[in-house]
């Protein structure tokens, strides 16, 4: 099964891990999912921040 990685330096999707891990986000199951890596990371970060706010308010 192929894996897709988003390279944060080149802003390109890589098929298979080609670059150092410090420049990659992934792996993703599809090319399209890797294309949206930054959006996905942002959405997850916002969700975690909201969960933390709710936890602190208890």
What pLDDT is stored for residue 33 in this prediction? 97
What pLDDT is stored for residue 49 in this prediction? 87
Domain ranges for the chain: 4-57
Q: Cβ distance 35 to 11 under 8 Å?
A: no
Tell me the C-alpha distance between 14 and 49, whole Å.
Answer: 29
Residue whose C-alpha is closest to residue 15's, from 55, 39, 30, 41 = 30
Give the tens place of pLDDT for each residue, 5-50: 999 999 999 999 899 999 999 999 999 999 999 999 999 899 998 9
What pLDDT is stored for residue 37 in this prediction? 96
What pLDDT is stored for residue 58 in this prediction? 81
């Amino acid at each position: 099964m192929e894996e897709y990685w988003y390279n944060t330096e080149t802003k390109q999707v890589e098929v298979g891990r080609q670059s150092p891990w410090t420049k990659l986000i992934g792996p993703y199951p599809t090319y399209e999912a890797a294309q949206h890596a930054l959006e996905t990371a942002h959405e997850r970060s916002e969700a975690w921040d909201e969960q933390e706010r709710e936890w602190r308010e208890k």
